[in-house]
Amino acid sequence: MTDAGAGGTTRRAAATGEATGYSSRHPAEELALPAAPSRHSVAAAFTRHRLGVAGLGLVVAIALFSYVGPLLYHANELSVNILATNAAPGAGRPLGTDANGFDILGRLMLGGQASLELGLAVALAATTLGSLWGAISGMAGGLLDAAMMRLVDMLISVPAIFVLIFLATVLRPTIWVLIVALSLMSWPAAARLVRGETLSLRAREFVEAARVSGGSRPHNIFRHILPNAFDTILVNATFQAADAIIVLAALSFLGFGLPPPAVSWGGMLSQGSAYLLDGYWWEVYPVLALLVLTVLAFNFVGEGLRDSLDVRLRGE
């Protein structure tokens, strides 16, 4: 057969396949989702989101302040200096000192390290566990789904702050203990969110095609469900980080946070509030402002990602 004849045969076969609806491609490929937004389009949409860009800039600035700052600004944060207690801001001490003579600016940097590390670790652990739980529950359906979600409902109904205070009284509250405790109390929210996405995705044609063609449930979860729910998972992770930072500050303020010599913003607030009426404003307002800015920054990033990843909100 000549090349021209072979080409004609190939074109006729392709035309016949299109006309009859048959194709040599895998059924799951035939029924794929519409093309996901490209990274370029998402990045361009995010750069147009002013709050998202401002939030990302704040997160980067706070990270540099917390980790690069101590390399440039040296302050004694280990030994008490009684002669410099409650010193007002001045030369050599831009934000003054606290009741133990510790430099406020230096402690803000150390407290930022603890807050960022705990917030990001909890966001990663809680989002991972919750995403797997929600995807498995949504794909399983039936009695297993009901049992798994009742456990989620039960954990959500328990006030997290009380459980964390109880654990802090029983266990020594190290950074790892707090990360594990906060993650175990935070994952149900992610599980419920991802389960809702899974219930929507599992009814789509491409998932049905993958199942009919022999794809196992774990394969469908990791190949189709989680990748297509990644946008929702990513946005939820940013809000989880903000929530973890707030909870750490609340625990430290109540006296159940990281023990000395570890530094936390909540502990600084708790100590400084006792001297606020005496006029030592520098022990409260700087750390309060930094805490609020950090939480707002993560929330702004989450809103920016949500609006950038959602085609409807991008206006495309």
Domain boundaries, the chain: 54-73+94-314
Element (H, E) at 253: helix 230-253
Domain 54-73+94-314 belongs to what topology?
Answer: MetI-like fold (1.10.3720)
Instruction: Determine the average pLDDT of the residues in 120-136.
Output: 93
Average model confidence (pLDDT) for the chain?
Answer: 81
Residue 93: strand, helix, or coil? strand
Q: Which of these, 201, 203, 209, 205, lies nearest to 225 by C-alpha position? A: 201
93 pairs with which residues across the strands?
90
Q: Is the pLDDT of residue 247 over 50?
A: yes
Q: What is the DSSP letter of 68?
A: T
Task: Using alpha carbons, list the distances in angstroms from residue 312 to 102, 169, 282, 309.
Answer: 51, 48, 45, 9
Number of residues that make up the chain: 316
Average pLDDT of the residues in 85-96? 87
Average pLDDT over residues 260-272: 87
Predicted local confidence at residue 188, as pLDDT:
92
The predicted-structure confidence for 276-287, as pLDDT tens digits, reads as follows: 888 889 999 999
Buried b (16+ CB within 10 A) or exposed e, 53-77: eebbebbeebbebbeebbeeeebee
35: three-class secondary structure by DSSP = coil
Helix (H, G, I), strand (E, B) or coil at 97: strand
Nearest to 224 by CA among 245, 200, 244, 248: 200
- Whether pLDDT at 266 is above 50: yes
Alpha-carbon dihedral 4, 10, 15, 16, rounded to 10 degrees:
120
**Which pTM does this prediction carry?**
0.78
Quickly state the pLDDT bin for 132 (edges 50, 70, 90): very high
Tokens of 68: 């690069």
Residue 45's nearest CA partner among 309, 239, 297, 229 is 309
DSSP three-state, residue 264: coil
Query: What backbone torsions phi and psi does residue 32 show, to the nearest 5 degrees?
Result: -70, 160
Does residue 174 register a pLDDT over 90? Answer: no
- For residue 152, the one-letter residue type is V
Residue range 16-49, pLDDT digits in tens:
443 334 444 444 444 444 445 556 677 777 888 8
Q: Is the pLDDT of residue 84 over 90?
A: no
